[in-house]
Structure 1
Amino acid sequence: MSEQPTPDHPNALSADVVDLIAAVAEALDIPLPATNDADERTYHRLLERRASTVSIALAALLKLRIAGLGDDAEWIRTRVAELPVTYAVFVPVQERGAG
């Protein structure tokens, strides 16, 4: 993943920090919805729920200030897996005819 901090790279992120950041990015990276109202509402509800999941994990991490970031990353991924994309996703016009 990432280099561990060393005298040559003292500011390098640890693998656990990189994994936690990746889990946050993955949780919030959901495809845009199709352009109908129902899919847009579902998209916004899903993004809100996933953001809440991430917020809970980060708030707990900041409050407790303990090691174990890998556990936090796994917790985020487990909770996000329970919140799958269930709406029709946006497909750009140029891609609609391809396939």
Structure 2
Amino acid sequence: MTTAERGTSDMLPADVTNLLSAVVEALDIPLPSIEDTDERKYYRLLERRAMDVRISLWSLLRHPDHPDLHHDAAYIRTCTAEQPVTYTPFDSGRTGGEGR
């Protein structure tokens, strides 16, 4: 954890940090290989995951009197797990993470 991340998590309530982490995990997917089919799969996956995040956040804003951030984070994580990366990530040939 970087100093900036540590500072943010110290300032935000745990349930907010949990929700924001779920959003980042859902949207942080590896770049696709240069194959057209992989690129299409990448954009479709990103679109689906962004829609799930939007639904969760829309619901939270629609019902501000009954926030359940842990439930919203769990919903996002469940949707993310149901939509895994099915394309070949880009590999630059360098050491480090794929597609990052």
Kindly provide the amino acid, as one letter, of the partner of residue 33 in structure 1: P
| Aligned pairs, number | 87
Alignment of 1:11-26 (within 5 A): 12-26=11-25
* Superposition deviation, residue 13 in structure 1: 0.9
Gaps of 5+ in 2: 1-5, 96-100
Deviation (angstroms), 1:68:
1.3
Runs of 4+, deviation exceeding 6 Å: none
Bigger RCO (CA 8 Å, 6+ sep): 2
> Which secondary structure does the structure 1 equivalent of 2:94 belong to?
helix
Instruction: List gaps (5 residues or longer) in structure 1.
Output: 4-11
Does residue 1:32 correspond to 2:10, yes or no? no
Which residue does the alignment assign to 1:94? Answer: 94
TM-score (normalised: structure 2)? 0.82
Name 1:76's counterpart in structure 2: 76
Residue deviations 1:3-62 (CA, integer Å, cap 9, x gap): 4xxxxxxxx210000000000000000000000100000000000000000000000000
1:40-79 paired onto structure 2 within 5 Å: 40-65=39-64, 66-79=66-79
Q: Report the AA paired with residue 67 of structure 1.
A: P
Q: Percent identity?
A: 53
Name the Cα RMSD after superposition.
1.3
How many angstroms apart in 1 are the aligned matches of 2:94 and 2:69?
A: 42
